[in-house]
Amino acid sequence: MESNDDLVKRRRFGEHLSAGARQLGLGLLDPLYPPTCLNCEAPLATPDTLCAACFAQLRPISDPLCPRLGLPFAADIGPDAISAEAMADPPPFGRARAAVVYDEIAGTLVSRLKYGDRPELARFCARLMAGAGHELWQGGPVLVPVPLHPARQWSRRYNQSAELALALGKLTGLAVDTSLVRRARKTRQQVGLSGEGRQRNVAGAFAAHAEVLVRAAGRRVVLVDDVYTTGATTKAVTRTLLRAGVEAVDVMTFARVVIGADMPI
Ligand SMILES: [Zn+2]
CATH number at residue 150: 3.40.50
What is the number of domains present in the chain? 1
Kindly state whether residue 69 falls inside one of the protein's structural domains: yes
Q: How far apart are CA 118 and CA 110, in angstroms?
A: 11
Q: 19 in a domain, yes or no?
A: no
Q: What is the CA(37)–ligand 1 centre distance, in A?
A: 5
Residue 5 domain flag: no
Q: So what's the pLDDT on residue 234? A: 95
14 is a domain residue: no
Is 160 part of a structural domain of the chain?
A: yes
Confidence of residue 261 (pLDDT cuts 50, 70, 90): low
- Using the mean position of ligand 1's atoms as its centre, give its distance from the Cα of residue 85 in Å: 34
Does residue 239 surpass a pLDDT of 50?
yes
Mean pLDDT of the chain: 83
Q: Give the distance (Å) from ligand 1 centre to CA of residue 128.
A: 17
Whole-number pLDDT of residue 9: 47
In a domain, residue 25? The reply is no
Gap between the Cα atoms of 182 and 243, Å rounded: 14
Counting residues of the chain whose pLDDT is more than 70, the rounded percentage is 83
User: 27: pLDDT confidence band, cut at 50, 70 and 90?
Assistant: very low
For residue 40, how far is its CA from the centre of ligand 1 (angstroms)?
4
Cα 201 to ligand 1 centre (Å): 36
What pLDDT is attached to residue 99? 98
Is residue 120 included in any domain, yes or no? yes
Segments forming the whole domain that contains residue 217: 49-75+82-256
In a domain, 35, yes or no: no
pTM exceeds 0.95: no
